[in-house]
Amino acid sequence: MKIRGTQGYAEEAADLQVRYESFGFEDAHRTVLHLLPHALGAVLDIGAGTGRDAAYFAAKGHRVVAVEPTDALRILAAELHPSPSIEWIHDGLPELERIVARRENFDLILMSAVWMHLDAAERRRAMPIVASLLAPGGAMIMTLRHGAVPEGRRMFAVTAEETVNLARAQELNTKFNQLAESRQNANRRAGVSWTTLVFAKN
């Protein structure tokens, strides 16, 4: 299965492990901790990377399905964060074919630093698919990267406004929308910023 948007990640897997694992989930996502579900449930981590966030939810008692299309990252993540509560799946956006085929709903969907790898047509196709996977009362957390594209990566400009409109069309309500500078020094110097969005499904 070849997923577009993964260019450059396999070659940098070891370096990405150091960068991604240098700070925890609560530090990376502290602005939305109050919006996380209190009850234990099913979590879908799309673009799980080195597994930091999946491991956080597993440690809290949630059942986690971690989707990562880059083999090098997925294998590294499974070794780094071994847990019977995490299921690692080779799949990816925009279609999420293997996840959709499971006919399963999730209480929380996380897409951290993923959405900007899709072009506009792919984003329009992906939002209904992702929204259909969210259980009633569930929440979806997304982070959008803005700024210069690293060499060798496939990224596109994406705005919070567009993303909110796509979510609204799927009857997802916006609960949080915040723009902030990057936490990583190199990205901050390059002018990279991030929007964090949280959507809820009634």
Q: Which residue has the higher pLDDT, 148 or 164?
A: 164
For residues 73 and 179, give the distance between their C-alpha atoms in angstroms, rounded to a whole number. Answer: 27
Q: Is the pLDDT of residue 13 over 60?
A: no
More confident residue, 181 or 12: 181
44 lies in a domain? yes
Backbone angles phi, psi at 6, to 5 degrees: -95, 0
Alpha helix ranges (H) inside the chain: 13-20, 25-28, 52-59, 71-80, 97-101, 120-132, 160-169, 185-189
Query: What's the pLDDT score for residue 149?
Result: 84
Please identify which residue in the block is written with the tokens 């406004």.
161
pLDDT at 7 over 70: no
Number of compact structural domains in the chain: 1
Does a structural domain hold residue 2?
no
What is the average pLDDT across 17-26?
75
Nearest to 92 by CA among 35, 146, 48: 48
Confidence grade of residue 98 (pLDDT, cut at 50, 70, 90): very high
Domain carrying residue 23: 13-201
Distance CA 173, CA 202 (A): 8
Confidence of residue 9 (pLDDT cuts 50, 70, 90): low
Residue 124, phi-psi category: left (phi > 0), alpha (psi -120 to 50), beta (remainder)? alpha
Q: Mean pLDDT in the chain?
A: 90
Residue 5 lies in a domain: no
Specify the length of the chain in residues: 202
Chain position carrying tokens 């070659």? 11
Domain for residue 60, yes or no? yes
8 in any annotated domain: no
- CATH assignment of the domain containing 171: 3.40.50.150
**Do the domain assignments include residue 6?**
no
Share of the chain above pLDDT 70, in %: 86
Residue 4 lies in a domain: no
Position 52 pLDDT exceeds 60: yes
Residue 8 has pLDDT above 60, yes or no: no
